[in-house]
Structure 1
Amino acid sequence: MELLDKLSEETDKCIRCGLCQKVCPIYAEMRSEPFVARGKVRLVKEIIKGDLEISDRFKEIMDLCLDCGACVANCPATVKTNHLVLAARAKVTSEKGLPLIMKGALHGFLPNNKAQALAVKMAYFYQHSGLQSVLRKSGLLETLSKDLSQKEGVMPEFAPRTFRSMLSDLPLKKSGKIRVAYYLSCMTNMVNPDLGKAVIKTLEYHDCEVIIPKDVQCCGTPHLAYGDTQIANQIAEKNARLLMETGADYIVSDCATCGATLKKYDEMVSNAKGFSDKVYDISEFLVKIAGLRVGKKPVKGVVTYHDPCHLARGQGVKNSPRQILKSIPGLTLVEMEEADRCCGGAGTFNVMHYDLSMRILDRKITNIQNVDPNFLATGCPACTMQLEHGLAQHSMAVPVIHPIKLLAETY
């Protein structure tokens, strides 16, 4: 039985009350029924019944979803629209296949650690050799393609080398009260190795022995998002095996999106029973398991916090990051309005649907401006990339930083 057929009863739960309209960032911009949860549920229902065929228009509608989970969290009938949308995308992919470039990225790049290492070197050269500056100032990118120029503008600042390549140089503790397997995300590996170092420093300060399996791959979220469930399941099986082989008491992730997917592995992998119970976001782990320890060095300033969708709604973790920020000496947490509203990043959504993504982001930037913070904290690399781009567009010199990096500065 296909996944969509298994979710048939889910479509029957919708009472068509329309409360999803109030919380959907896509609907707020599009103002069109097919793009809100209620509309998507109805379309999926017609597909299951056989009264509607898979078409380019159906694909477009299913693609215009951030998977932010706001509709699910606010649905009185608890319709899992996010599950329906992902299942619909899998149906589209099984019938239509993937575009060649996307297939190459999902099959040949993201699961390939060597390819990631090469990409980091190339991206770093592009950004620091002067080539990027010349192309941007000359306007050549925009002349060639406005779409290309926009996509290039969202590109994050890459590290000179991957965090994975640095691991042999890091003197990890060989003992500790708690054995923790640290899952290395693609973005920490390629873009933010300093976050990886801060995670290790913080865990060891909490008397943890940190084990980092080098051969783990991308968590599989992009594959699920594009309906490539077969590869996603293969990745989940390998990652679960490597992480379980460490013998760790807990598995920790510094990426909201990766953590949300890791917590689904026991549903994706037949021999991974109990795996997800060991998975914690780093903030959740420190507060609930390790017992939060804060150093004495102050970090002075005002910080506001953006809730990543995959952490706040995907994992139900909202208080732990805030508790960490509030505990840091010299730092004042000031909440922004709609802190848990999606920023519009959603993985590659901001690349594939740039204009719509920026309209959604503008609302978030306005809320940040109203606080005027010294720091903007968030626990998701994709959100970080989106927020940094938005702040730069509005000429705001506010660093976007993971709560753990701020915490590590106190030691």
Structure 2
Amino acid sequence: MLTMPGRTNPPALTPAEALGASTTEVGRPRLAGLDGLRFLAAMAVLAYHYFAVNHEAWGERTTDSFPNLQPVLAYGSFGVQLFFVISGFVILLSAWGRDVRAFTASRVGRLFPAYWLSIALVLVLLLAVAPGSKDVGLSDTAANLTMVQRAFGVHDLEPVYWTLWAELRFYVLIGVLLALGMTRNRLIAFAAVWPVVASIAVRSGNETLATVLVGSDAPLFAGGMILYLLLRERRSVVLWLVLGLNVALAGLMSGRSQSLRIEGSTTLSVEPQSYWLAILACFALVVAVTLTPLSRLSWKWLTVAGALTYPLYLLHSSWGQWLITKLHPHLPTAMTFAVVTAVMLLAAYLAHRFVERPLGPRLKRAVARDLGRLGALVRGEWRVGRQAAGRQVAAAHAPEPEPSTSR
């Protein structure tokens, strides 16, 4: 039985023992099926960007090049929604049992090395390989290095970066939960209330609140969190009801917003029943690999594929389209796609092997160390302040000394 995060008592079993799955270095379970889903989502988004988004990398607009393929592969954009459901599950899994410092260090070490590499590579493309294809300035680049450029109204150097802004806001909310104390009941209440308030903020036009609460995508993250809790309590009526609430809100809000993105990038019209089915499929796939016997999958290649997902997602867009423009005049469409995809997978492997693996742990340790020092400094100053205030109070209440008499 999976150990559920309790209120105060430590679990009797580790999550890995409960799941019977392989573990990460910190002893958390590694669900190979989720790695496979992440890779599937990345490949779906890759196909969407290559064959559905309107560009002229194939020699003419995608609508004209692939009139029959575009309407099908346009649904690959819902790979992003699948990412978000998986993220809700995985981030709660990785956050449980950690404090804010450890969680923050873990996320920084995981996200930034490959992200900074992708910025460097897109700058090489835009400034050296294909200059003039897109305007890029020093201020834009500096803002993008922070990953929060959208908070300052700065455009993304790569179109895929918008999803990282959603992820970061979700991480901040998880950090707040950790600071307050992450318990089962608080998680359930949060996963039920947060998406409702976020949806109301979107529908009412409160952009500030909608931005803070991750807007239309909040139900996807919250639904993933509930799926993690269902590992422990699969018969909990409350959890299933909260999951149903988030699925409904995800279809209503995130499904619609994603359909508008598809229409804006492809000119295709996505009917409500289509995006509802896409959202249902995202949740159903995660349920299949976490709450059914498929959770026992332990194929090593799935874990390898999962490791390539993040760098593949970051690197595939601009460089992939540029490669298509160079290869397609000389190769058939299918072979062009195969070669470009193979190059992107190789680039993802090299990024993982020579950037993420060596630099990620070092960055994580450095952030954890510096946050620890900062916390110790703040606590020390707070203690000094309290002691000084105590001395002042004591002095104020001390009896006046007797005047001395001079003889």
Report the TM-score, using the length of structure 1 for normalisation. Answer: 0.28
Larger helix proportion of the pair: 2
Larger strand proportion of the pair: 1
Task: Name the larger-Rg structure.
Answer: 2
Report the TM-score, using the length of structure 2 for normalisation. Answer: 0.29
Task: Flag the structure with more relative contact order, 1 or 2, with Cα contacts below 8 A and sequence separation at least 6.
Answer: 2
